[in-house]
Amino acid sequence: MRLAWTLTLAVPVLFAVPAAAELPEGAEALHARLASRLAPSVRSWVGGEARTLARAGGDAGALRAAAQARFAGQLGAAGGADIEALAFLVLMQATRDAEADLKAIMAQVKAANAAKQKLRDLADKVRRDVAQNAGKRDNAPCRPPQCGVGRAALAEVAAPLAAARAPAGFAQREVATLRDLRALHDELKGKLDSLNQTSEMTSLRLQMLMDRRSKFISTLSNIMKKLASTQDAIVQNLK
């Protein structure tokens, strides 16, 4: 499955994320064939190693060493092929886990972008109101149409903020005076700055996961070439 995304993570900077690498041709079929032969304990080991690999990364050499240690004494004449097959199974699962993580991050990014748009819209209105009331005293009343921000406008922003897992409450709940309006202006700016910083961190995390997944797929391709000439009896005797 191709994951092609272009993200707007911070304003005004655009973060473009390249399309994710495709799985090698035949990888799904090979995985299904090998996985069908696994004993439950081996399947459990594969799942645990895959989760660790997807979250923390690692290299094929360390993975092969872990398989060699776990199944020492069970590897016969085709031991090398068994190790490669186990590495393949772990990497396939890790690739799927990484893809699930990428989708979860994308959902967070989408929610954050929606929240930022709502914040920007409200901040623009408040900024115009502040400008229209420049020079007036802080304790001057804030009345429409020059000062028309109320609870409904704040509530409209709160829901997208909550969806983006950002603080949804506002310290400035009432806008009765120009002091309140100016305080709200500063608060909106602070929330938007915070979301932009979080989005930049999310962008780095997203790119790291995509790079890791690409390395998994490259290693999968190399392992598949090694397994192409082996017999179908691999992994079925491991416990």
User: pLDDT by residue (tens digit) across 93-105?
Assistant: 999 999 899 889 9
Q: What six digits make up the tokens of 226? A: 């090694």
pLDDT over threshold 80, residue 133: yes
- Give the residue carrying structure tokens 């060699």: 68
pLDDT category at 149 given cuts 50, 70, 90 is: confident
Over residues 132-156, mean pLDDT: 85
pLDDT over threshold 50, residue 18: no
Q: Name the maximum alpha-carbon separation found in the chain.
A: 88
**Could you tell me the CA-to-CA distances from 42 to 83, 98, 141, 208, 228 in Å, in that order?**
12, 21, 72, 29, 22
pLDDT over threshold 80, residue 172: no
Q: Do residues 96 and 216 lie in contact, with contact meaning Cβ atoms separated by under 8 Å? A: no
Over residues 45-55, mean pLDDT: 92
Over residues 228-234, mean pLDDT: 59
pLDDT category at 19 given cuts 50, 70, 90 is: low
Over residues 201-207, mean pLDDT: 89
pLDDT category at 239 given cuts 50, 70, 90 is: low
Q: Are strands 5-7 and 15-17 parallel, antiparallel or unpaired?
A: antiparallel
Question: Which pLDDT belongs to residue 10?
Answer: 37
Question: Which pLDDT belongs to residue 73?
Answer: 78
Q: Where are the chain's structural domains?
A: 109-202
pLDDT category at 117 given cuts 50, 70, 90 is: very high
pLDDT over threshold 60, residue 11: no
Q: How many helices (H) and strands (E) does the chain have?
A: 6, 2
Question: Which pLDDT belongs to residue 232?
Answer: 52
pLDDT over threshold 70, residue 211: yes
Q: What six digits make up the tokens of 219? A: 């290693």
Look over the chain and give the mean of its residue pLDDT values, rounded to a whole number: 83
pLDDT category at 189 given cuts 50, 70, 90 is: very high
Question: Which pLDDT belongs to residue 235?
Answer: 55
For 122-160, letters b (16+ CB in 10 Å) and e give bbeebeebbeebeebeeeeebeeeebebeeebbeebbeb
Question: Which pLDDT belongs to residue 230?
Answer: 62
Q: What six digits make up the tokens of 102? A: 């990428």
What DSSP designation does 6 have?
Answer: E
